[in-house]
Structure 1
């Protein structure tokens, strides 16, 4: 009987010891840090991960997150500096850097979110209220978010919190004002586009006028140089012709006549109303270009066997006369009835 009682007591003591041993140990993970509170008073902070010990039933371990936490803030309606009502949706990210101060000031993450949301709304109203709607939606949003983060971080230091980032997720107009604002913005953009088109058209006209003037000047200069070159060429041609004429007048006359034939008789429909005995066709009857008109004899030639005129002087040497028709010239004999083949 005594052995049974003794064994039961030992078992109870073992269980109690196990419970006490289990209750005196706690584990800190890598993503957390721990605040040890003894009877409501903080005694130490554990920031390194691993196995730690505490007094069971007296010490309480409060885990504190070491990661970056998100604060989702509901959209707020804010009046900008240009008196436009804006719906601003923003969020923040923060980190607990001083667990003891965090526990003493806000106590928990829920309390921290509540206090930070109030501070974030206040900073949004101050910064957005100093800026216009166009600045907020165009090129100053980054600077505005930086200013909001600085103000929020400065005010949250008393909570043991470091604000890492603040972002403006969306900026919209109230539904009742959106259409009117969009219409006005469209009108302004159309006016700017019309001004740009007018400026471009004016510059295009100036460029065209300048180009036309340059073209006119270039053409005039080119024509002037062409006339000058043409005049120099004509002068050189006349000089060459004059030099050729002075060297051999007969050949020069023949050459120029051949050029006139080529120019005048080139086309198939060329018609000339000229007598064959004209001076223009003299080279058709005589290669030397002598006139085809017979010399005046003062009367008919003497009859066969009649003595020549002039007191019985001997007849002159046979002379070349042009034939009436096209062909080679012939030489007359002493007989007036001789003919040429």
Structure 2
């Protein structure tokens, strides 16, 4: 029994010493060995490693991509518009030794990165107008900020992968003024469109009236021509009939005159020798 207790104590001591000497680096980690607070050796790859107990410690760093959501900040655009920008950036550690020497911890790295990104963001957005930032050149501006900030943070042993704007807003004190200006601009455009519409309608009506007058005049001209041709043809027919039977033609014309002259309550005072009564004899 006493011997078993001694074995357990020895086993505990061995395990404790082994935990102080051996350590494991995971696939998602970097590790560096510190001796009295100073890095020794190079960055350790994933696997089982050892260190000197008591005088050496191990510092682990996450090698995966990390993102950081910055606090919304207010920037001034080139057209003197205040803009509240809510953005984030993605980064990762690439050189653990340099990272430890310069910023030490993740929190320290975030603080440095936030300062650099905010400075580049303010400078880049200050060279563009509100419309370019919000709609036209947003992607290109973000790529430019990412490239410039990445060069500045490389000395910290990190890589800046992406900077993006999640949301852009106007400061509360400027929103109402901007909305009023937008409303006035839309009303001005609406008035312009209505005026242009009335002008175009007047042109269409004028053109239609002109076409109508031309069509009516042309129709009257054609009607007069047809009527003239018909009358000429009638005269021609009458003339032909007169040549073929002048006596009959005279008799027919006389009958028509009698029909028109002798109506109800018609009185004529004529002598018997009057030529008008020729066919009554």
The TM-score normalised by the length of structure 2 is 0.72
Tell me, yes or no, if structure 1 residue 189 matches structure 2 residue 186.
yes
Report how far residue 189 of structure 1 moved. 3.2
Report how far residue 169 of structure 1 moved. 1.4
The unaligned stretches of length 5 or more in structure 1 are 265-270, 276-290, 296-341
The unaligned stretches of length 5 or more in structure 2 are 267-277
Structure 1 counterpart of 2:270: none
- Structure 1 runs of 4+ off > 6 angstroms? 251-254
Partner deviation per Cα, 1:129-187 (whole Å, 9 max, x = no partner): 223334444434344333323322232222322222321512212x3333333323333
Asked if 1 retains the 8 angstrom alpha-carbon contact of 2:87 and 2:163, the reply is no
Cα distance, 1:201–1:248 mapped onto 2, change above 3 Å: same
Tell me, yes or no, if structure 1 residue 165 matches structure 2 residue 163.
yes
Structure 1 counterpart of 2:31: 35
Structure 2 counterpart of 1:113: 110
Cα distance, 1:142–1:209 mapped onto 2, change above 3 Å: farther
| Bigger helix share | 2
Q: What is the distance in 2 between the residues matched to 1:156 and 1:183?
A: 43
Asked if 2 retains the 8 angstrom alpha-carbon contact of 1:137 and 1:171, the reply is no
Q: What is the distance in 2 between the residues matched to 1:71 and 1:13?
A: 48
Report how far residue 76 of structure 1 moved. 1.9
Asked if 2 retains the 8 angstrom alpha-carbon contact of 1:45 and 1:99, the reply is no
Asked if 1 retains the 8 angstrom alpha-carbon contact of 2:67 and 2:91, the reply is yes
Report how far residue 59 of structure 1 moved. 5.5
Tell me, yes or no, if structure 1 residue 273 matches structure 2 residue 264.
yes
Structure 2 counterpart of 1:225: 222
Q: What is the distance in 1 between the residues matched to 2:151 and 2:229?
A: 92
Q: What is the distance in 2 between the residues matched to 1:253 and 1:16?
A: 159
Structure 2 counterpart of 1:53: 48
Report how far residue 126 of structure 1 moved. 0.9
Q: Which one has the largest radius of gyration?
A: 1
Cα distance, 1:238–1:113 mapped onto 2, change above 3 Å: farther
Q: What is the distance in 1 between the residues matched to 2:45 and 2:219?
A: 95
Q: What is the distance in 1 between the residues matched to 2:244 and 2:41?
A: 134
Q: What is the distance in 2 between the residues matched to 1:156 and 1:245?
A: 120
Asked if 1 retains the 8 angstrom alpha-carbon contact of 2:88 and 2:166, the reply is yes
Cα distance, 1:228–1:88 mapped onto 2, change above 3 Å: same
Asked if 2 retains the 8 angstrom alpha-carbon contact of 1:96 and 1:102, the reply is yes
- What does residue range 41-120 of structure 1 map to in structure 2 within 5 Å? 41-46=40-45, 52-56=47-51, 57=53, 58=56, 60-67=58-65, 69-120=66-117
Name the count of aligned residue pairs: 262
Q: What is the distance in 2 between the residues matched to 1:98 and 1:246?
A: 128
Q: What is the distance in 1 between the residues matched to 2:234 and 2:96?
A: 110
Cα distance, 1:233–1:117 mapped onto 2, change above 3 Å: farther
